[in-house]
Amino acid sequence: MAATAKPSSPHRHGDADEYETLSGLLHAYRTPVAIILFGIMVSLALFFAALVGQSRDKELDFRSYAQSRIIELDGAISTLDVEMRQLAQAIDSGLSPEAAVRIFDVAEVSQQIPIIRDMGIVENGRLTGAISPEVGRQALQEINVLIAREPASEQPVVIPMTDSEGRNSRFALVQALPDRPTARAYIVSDFDVMLASPVGPVDPLWVVVNITDRAPTHALAGTREMRTAANPTDINISLALESAPFLVHWTAAPPYSDIRATLLPRRSFLMQTGPLPWVVLFSSFFATATIGAISLKDARRADEVRREVTRKTAELSRSNAIIAAKNAELDRFASHASHDLQAPLRAMKGISSLLVERQLNLDHRSREMLERINRGADRAQRLVQDLLTYTRAERKEARVERIEPDEIRSEIEELLGAVIADADARLEWALDGPIHADRFLLVRMFQNLIANAIKYRRDERPLVRIASRDAGDNILISVSDNGIGIDKAYFGRIFEVFERLHGGDAYEGTGIGLALCQRAAELHGGDISVASSPGEGSCFTVRLPANLAPQIDAGDNDETGGDRPPRLVSNDR
- Tell me the pLDDT of the chain (573 aa) as tens digits: 334 444 444 444 444 444 456 666 666 677 777 778 888 888 888 888 887 777 788 888 888 888 988 998 999 999 899 888 888 888 888 888 888 888 877 766 555 557 888 888 888 888 888 888 888 888 888 888 888 887 767 788 898 998 888 888 899 999 888 888 888 889 999 888 888 665 555 667 778 888 888 888 877 544 343 343 445 445 577 887 888 888 999 999 989 999 999 988 887 777 777 787 788 888 888 888 888 777 777 776 767 787 788 889 999 998 888 887 876 776 666 665 655 565 666 666 666 666 666 656 667 777 667 666 766 666 565 556 665 665 655 555 667 889 999 999 988 888 888 888 888 888 999 998 898 988 888 888 888 899 888 888 888 888 999 999 988 888 999 999 988 888 887 787 777 765 555 544 555 556 677 888 888 888 888 998 988 888 888 999 999 998 876 544 433 444 433 444 333 334 444
205 in a domain, yes or no?
yes
Pick the last residue of a domain from 342, 364, 395.
395
Does 527 share its domain with 388?
Answer: no
Do residues 347 and 490 both lie within one domain? no
Q: Are 467 and 432 in contact (CB under 8 A)?
A: yes
Cβ within 8 Å of residue 37, ≥6 positions away: none
Domain range for 367 is: 303-395
Give the per-residue pLDDT at 225.
37
How far is it, in rounded angstroms, from Cα 66 to Cα 72?
10
Cα-based distances in Å from 239 to 235, 245, 562: 8, 12, 68
33: in domain:
no
| DSSP one-letter code for 490 | G
120: in domain: yes
Residue 26 in domain: no
In-domain check, residue 149: yes
Ramachandran class of 485: left when φ > 0, alpha when ψ lies in -120 to 50, beta otherwise: left
Say yes or no: 250 and 363 in one domain. Answer: no
Domain membership of residue 254 (yes or no) is yes
Number of C-alpha atoms within 13 angstroms, CB side, residue 342? 16
Q: Is residue 34 part of a domain?
A: no
Return the SS3 of 563: coil
d(CA 499, CA 493): 7
pLDDT of residue 274: 74
Count: domains in the chain: 3
Q: Which of 402, 494, 492, 472 is nearest to 442 (CA)?
A: 402
Torsion angles phi and psi, residue 353, rounded to 5 = -65, -40
In the sheet where 217-220 sits, what is the strand order?
Answer: 217-220, 205-211, 259-265, 248-251
255 and 308 both lie in a single domain: no
How many CB atoms within 10 Å of residue 387? 19
Both 391 and 416 in one domain: the answer is no
Asked, for residue 486, whether it belongs to a domain, the answer is yes
